Chains A and B, each alone.
Chain A
Amino acid sequence: MLRPPKSQQVAVYGFAVLAVAIALAPFAWMVISSVASPADLLKRPLHWIPDHASLSRYRAVASGSSDAAQTFGAAFVNSLVVAAVSVVISLAAGIFGAYAFARLRFRFRRSIMLLFLVTYMLPPISILIPLYLIEARLQLLDTRAGLVLVYVSFITPFVLWVMGNYFQSIPEDLEDAGRIDGLSRVGVLFRIVLPLSVPGLLSTALLGFLLAWDEFLYALIFTDTDASKTIPVAIAEFTGRHAVDFGMIATGGVLASIPPVIIALLFQRYIVGGLTAGALKG
């Protein structure tokens, strides 16, 4: 490779520093706000480094010593459970369908695929009202199960899409060999295809988790108490009620960001792989 000229290298480093600063500064401010004392946050002129910093708000959430702290703690657990269970169910169901899309030629294959894609694009608000009434009748409102039911409906199409593309990238010869050795279609799927698909499964699971973790509108309408409220709802409610107590909002925000940020940092390659599966093949 030819070396780029010096001026260009300076531009690259300048741009890199700028990008990092813009990406990081607001997030850093949230972390700082979560440990700053309330007086620090309301100071004019504002001090960027707080005079009094402590982890007291995090301790409050851990011990549930105030109403808000208790809600954030419960909401964190709810989000975790709902997202994890939704992903497991969606994967368990979607893997078979994805395999069918990738390997079988059948009537209406394209139409069914398109239909799944359409459900994925639907604005949630278009099914929200009847769903609310159904869940009310089934007594699923304000339960984690009620949320899982809905989340599975938008994570499963995603599994079909990403895993379908992933399965297509596995050489079919391997499967034919397995079939000759006496494996059934489903046997081939479990013994040959899935072990080769671990990276794809991982990226699908992680992205599905992020989708569920981020969901807001359904959770806002369907949940009511600490029994099922997810962390985006808890934060939005608290923001609406105590707009100036940003220290506590920031604490909830940092907690809510920990799982997705860790996932994004540690598994970036899988995330990008999952996101762009299919998009790059057109």
Chain B
Amino acid sequence: MVVRTVSVSRSRLAERLSNRFDRLRRAPGSLALVLLLPSLVLVFGVVLYPLVRTLLTSLHDVNSAMPGAYPFVGAHNYLELVKDAEFRSSLLRTAYFTFVTTAFELTFGILLGVLLNANFHGRAVVRAVVIIPWAVPTVVSGALWRWIFNGNYGALNAALTQTHLIGQYKQWLGTPWLALHMIMVEDVWKFTPFVALFVLAGLQTIPDELHEAGMVDGAGTVRRFFAITLPLLAPVILVTAVLRTIDGFRLFDIIYVMTRGGPASGTETAAFYTYVRAFSDQSFGLGSALAITLTAVILVVTVVYMRAIRVSEVD
């Protein structure tokens, strides 16, 4: 409530304004539309038409970038995808990559977040330094790790042979399965700090009294972590998991820089495969069907997570 004490004319003006204000409160739709218009234009103007276009293209047999009339083929492209073994394995690979890296990033990120929240000398420096992997641009860290993993001159080979952990240089990116896991190492290195930052912010909202009460009750550090810290962090952890999962299913740049999907398509993610089919093979119809399928997968995964978040909040 606001107290009106000033001169009569002023208060009359205020009354008139507040009436108008109330009218706007009752029918703020038009004002909201005006305020939202710039954002709507900039976002949906760029996104909506292309998205519809992609959907339409996925129903046609489009095999060149030239505009023209292409035969309508209905669900044919989608049926092709169902039969496409390479697509299926790229999707499975993406799911595997996303699931495993997210699990590691959450585990290490929570540990790192707890560390950054602890009291020790030099904490400010540690907090600053560990954020660096996340700050380095994705393409740069891809190029950097590709060089570190290099089979002939790489730093990883040098470090491991000089400490006698391996006898001779290894082609880390030379076989499909190994290459995929080396890229996962890069991903975990880059995104663990991202998770840790969220966890740290979450930890700072947990009052000290809870831990002190736990200590009085005789609960040790580990016990308190599982009984107090982790449950209170659940919402933060879930949100981070959603963000990391969405990113995982969109993963393209690191693959492009480190392996271009090779060797033998062993590191081809769904997004990368889509790119290859659309832009290298010029199969725009099939590529569009791939893109739409990928979008649907991401939406479904996100909705499932969102449900989980809502459930965790109700508890």
**Interface residues in chain A, defined as those with a beta carbon under 8 Å from any beta carbon in chain B:** 1-2, 4, 8-9, 12-13, 15-16, 19-20, 22-24, 26-27, 29-30, 33, 41-46, 48, 89-90, 92-94, 96-97, 99-101, 104-107, 109, 112, 115-116, 118-119, 121-134, 136, 149-150, 152-153, 156-157, 159-160, 173, 176-177, 179-182, 185, 210, 213-214, 216-217, 220-221, 231-233, 235-236, 239-240, 243-244, 246, 249-250, 252-253, 256-257, 260-261, 263-265, 268, 271-273, 275-276, 279-280, 282
Bound together, the chains give a CA A119 to CA B47 distance in angstroms of 7
Q: Which of B119, B128, B135, B193 has the most CB of A within 10 A?
A: B135
Asked if residues A129 and B208 are in contact (CB atoms below 8 Å), the reply is: no
Q: How far apart sit A227 and B144, CA to CA, in the bound complex (Å)?
A: 26
- 11 A-B contacts, Cβ less than 8 Å apart? A19-B130, A22-B189, A92-B38, A96-B35, A104-B35, A126-B295, A129-B284, A130-B54, A246-B150, A260-B135, A279-B240
**A-chain residues with CB within 8 Å of residue B295 when the two chains form the complex:** 122-123, 126
Residues of A within 8 A of B292 (CB): 126
Nearest CB on A from B64, distance (A): 11
Question: Is B291's beta carbon under 8 Å from chain A?
Answer: yes
> In whole angstroms, how far apart are the Cα atoms of A272 and B212 in the complex?
27
A99 touches B35 (CB 8 A): yes
Is the Cβ of A179 less than 8 Å from the Cβ of B18? yes
A152 CA to B294 CA in the complex, in Å?
A: 23
A121 near B302: Cβ-Cβ < 8 Å:
yes
CB distance B291 to A160 under 8 Å? no
In the complex, B39 has a CB within 8 A of chain A: yes
Chain B stretch 5-49: residues in CB contact (< 8 A) with chain A: 13-14, 17-18, 21, 24-25, 28-29, 31-36, 38-47, 49
Is B200's CB within 8 Å of the partner chain A? yes
| Cβ-closest chain B residue relative to A30 | B144
Question: B50 and A16: CB pair below 8 A?
Answer: no
A42 and B153 contact, CB distance less than 8 A:
yes
B38-73 near A? 1/0 per residue, CB < 8 Å:
111111111101110110010000000101000000
A244→B147 CA distance, assembly (Å):
8
Given A16-B126, A23-B132, A261-B135, the answer on whether A119 and B143 have CB atoms closer than 8 Å is no
| Minimum C-beta distance from A167 to chain B (A) | 12
B201 touching A19 by the CB < 8 A rule?
no
**In whole angstroms, what is the CA distance A46 to B275 when docked?**
37
Chain A residue nearest to B52 in the complex (CB): A130
A246 x B147 contact (CB < 8 A)? yes
Q: A105-B28, A121-B246 are in contact. Are A15 and B115 (CB under 8 A)?
A: yes
Chain A contacts for B161, CB-based, 8 A: 45
Does B182 interact with chain A (Cβ within 8 Å)?
Answer: no
Minimum CB–CB distance from A215 to chain B (whole Å) comes to 9
- What are the 7 tightest A-B residue pairs by CB atom distance, in nearest-first order? A93-B38, A46-B158, A130-B53, A97-B39, A264-B135, A153-B46, A130-B50
CA A219 – CA B284 in complex, angstroms? 19
B315 touches A (CB below 8 Å): no
A residues less than 8 Å from B41 (CB atoms): 93
Which residues of chain B have C-beta atoms less than 8 A from A89's C-beta? 42
Number of B residues with CB within 8 Å of any CB on chain A: 117
A118 and B299 form a contact (CB under 8 A): yes
B202 at the interface (CB under 8 A from A): yes
Q: Are A264 and B38 in contact (CB under 8 A)?
A: no
A232's partner among B49, B169, B253 (CB-CB below 8 A) is B253
Q: How far is the CA of A23 from the CA of B155 in the complex (A)?
A: 15
B181 at the interface (CB under 8 A from A): no
Given contacts A1-B212, A176-B2, A217-B252, contact A182 B135 (CB under 8 A): no
A253 lies within 8 A of B197 (CB): no
Q: Are A24 and B287 in contact (CB under 8 A)?
A: no
Which residues of chain A are within 8 angstroms of B193 by Cβ–Cβ distance? 23
A156 and B201 within 8 A (CB) = no
Chain A: which residue is nearest B39 at the CB level?
A97
- CA A268 – CA B313 in complex, angstroms? 28
